[in-house]
């Protein structure tokens, strides 16, 4: 009987160790996978949202700027909204400007589940009221943060 009790005890100790190992590895793997997912989700969201943020047609200026603002989250929404109202909207309306941004390349700089920084190379085509158009290339770093099930733009820094 004492031999069996000893065997049961060994099995119990082994079980406790196995549970600890399974929990540690399970949680670690889950977090690491979540970090990898966060980075690829944020990158995809940045590729989609940054052109929306930086493009508008003069004919549909109000709708387009509303849509631009819908790409943002957190404190950046108020900052960008102010910039749109104070600078972009009056200038675009007065000079009848339309502009469209496209992503030439994008990659993940850093980040994890709470925040991801993405580097984008943008090509911006701008058309003015006089009909002249200009194309310019730029580099920006955007900070993406989770918003509900999605990732939105929480900051933008031209380089």
Partner 1 sequence: MTGRLVAGVVGLVAVALLVFAGQRALAWRGDRSELSDGRAAAAAATAEVEGLIDISGSTSDADMVRLLDGATAAFRTDLEAQAARLQKALADNKVKATGKAVSTGVVKLADDRATVIVAAAGTVKNKQTKAAEPRNYRLRVDLQRVKGDWLVSGLEFVA
Binding site for partner 1 (CB under 8 A): 1, 4-5, 7-8, 10-12, 14-15, 17-19, 21-22, 24-26, 28-29, 32-33, 35-36, 104-109, 118-121, 123, 137, 139, 141, 159
Q: Which is nearer to partner 1, 18 or 78 (CB)?
A: 18
Q: Which is nearer to partner 1, 10 or 70 (CB)?
A: 10
CA angle 39, 43, 47 (to 5 degrees): 175
CB of 29 to partner 1, least distance (A): 4
Phi, psi for residue 147 in degrees, rounded to 5: -140, 105
Contact 73, 53 (CB under 8 A): no
Q: Which is nearer to partner 1, 60 or 136 (CB)?
A: 136
**3-state DSSP assignment of residue 141:** strand
CB of 102 to partner 1, least distance (A): 12
Q: Residue 134 and residue 101: Cα distance in Å, rounded?
A: 12
Q: Which is nearer to partner 1, 32 or 93 (CB)?
A: 32
Query: In this structure, how many other beta carbons lie within 10 angstroms of the beta carbon of residue 127?
Result: 16
């Amino acid at each position: 009987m004492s031999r069996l009790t000893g065997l049961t005890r060994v099995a119990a100790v082994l079980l406790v160790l196995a549970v600890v190992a399974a929990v540690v590895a399970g949680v670690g793997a889950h977090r690491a996978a979540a970090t990898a997912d966060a980075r690829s989700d944020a990158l995809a969201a940045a590729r989609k949202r940054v052109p929306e943020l930086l493009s508008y047609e003069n004919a549909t200026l109000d709708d387009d700027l509303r849509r631009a603002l819908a790409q943002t989250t957190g404190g950046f929404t108020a900052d960008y909204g102010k910039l749109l109202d104070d600078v972009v909207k009056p200038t675009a309306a007065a000079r009848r400007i339309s502009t469209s941004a496209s992503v030439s390349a994008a990659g993940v700089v850093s980040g994890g589940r709470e925040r991801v920084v993405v580097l984008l190379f943008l090509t911006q085509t701008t058309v003015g009221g006089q009909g002249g158009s200009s194309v310019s290339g730029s580099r920006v770093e955007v900070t993406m943060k989770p918003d509900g099930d999605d990732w939105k733009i929480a900051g933008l820094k031209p380089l």
